[in-house]
Amino acid sequence: MQTTKKRGPFKALLLSLLVPGLGQLYNSHIKKAAAFFTFNNSIYILGYFTLTVHFSNTFHNFIFAVIVYSSLSITTIFSIFDAFKDAHQLDEIELTPYNKWYTYLAIGILQFILIALLHPTHNIANFTVAGDAMWPTIINGDKISASKIAYKTKKPERGDIAFFTPLNTPKQIFLMRVIGIPGDRISMINGQLLINDFPVLRRSTAAPQDTRGVYRGNKLKTFIETLPNGVEYQVVEDDNSNPMRNFPQTLVPPGHYFVLGDNRDNALDSRYLSTGFIPEQNFKGKPLYIYWSDDLNRIGMSFPN
């Protein structure tokens, strides 16, 4: 068997950075390489089926996502350190049939294909919320993981919080709550929402905590609204005299939906012509959970189905 006097530590480092375990293969540590390949790809496969195929919007799923990405990061770091250390300490090794540049290249290509096929962006998208249209449910700066396929398997329902693109501004993505479905008659009288001529139940509740001080000094009115299907959520009215608290009855056309922001006086929702009714095909995702927020207490908060 042909021998070599030394392995390059930085070559081993780079190979493990590209594919955990590849640096170990370069060092002719076949068992170590197999262990890293198996563990790393098992995490990828498990994460894909849990987070994208059988995902849920529970806090447990958020924790699992953290575990998956942490495991992948730790595995990569450990593989890099181990490959670099071994290459630095080795005097010489016996080359194996696997110590060929085309073997490293083939493994790298296969790993790239696997990651491309199993990457969660096929079914999951991450959004950063800009604005307070959904305050206090969702606040400016919240970073949210959302299902991209939720509305490919079912239609939007009353009470859903959804990402969508308005018809008139297709390059913008909004986040609001579905209130009216096709065929509904929607109106508002002095802030009281009516669906099909029936007032939506609302009861007063304590004002939400404004940790950022955005609405400090404002006289806020806060209510819990209950939609006909039983979905409950908190809405806020500011102390300004918003003319859109009175909205004439409008019929939601077929294949379209009527959306409102929970922050009723600070939301450019379906009451405004610039947003209008939302075509079903314009829904882009349904929030699953908040994966990061300036308010650390909000991290991991999930949204009802």
Domain boundaries, the chain: 3-122, 124-298
Question: Would you state the pLDDT for residue 267?
Answer: 92
Question: Would you state the pLDDT for residue 163?
Answer: 97
What CATH code is assigned to 124-298? Answer: 2.10.109.10
pLDDT exceeding 90 applies to what percent of the chain? 56
Tracing tokens 């004002």 back to the chain, one arrives at 207
More confident residue, 278 or 3: 278
Residues 232/177, Cβ–Cβ less than 8 Å: no
pTM of structure: 0.72
167: confidence class by pLDDT, cuts 50, 70, 90: confident
243: confidence class by pLDDT, cuts 50, 70, 90: confident
Q: Using one digit for the tens of pLDDT, what is the confidence trace for 182-192? A: 999 999 999 99
Q: Using one digit for the tens of pLDDT, what is the confidence trace for 98-154? A: 888 899 999 999 998 888 777 666 678 899 999 999 999 999 999 998 988 889 889
Residues 175/134, Cβ–Cβ less than 8 Å: yes
Q: Using one digit for the tens of pLDDT, what is the confidence trace for 187-208? A: 999 999 999 999 999 999 987 7
Closest CA to 41 of 106, 122, 114: 114
Residues 158/219, Cβ–Cβ less than 8 Å: no
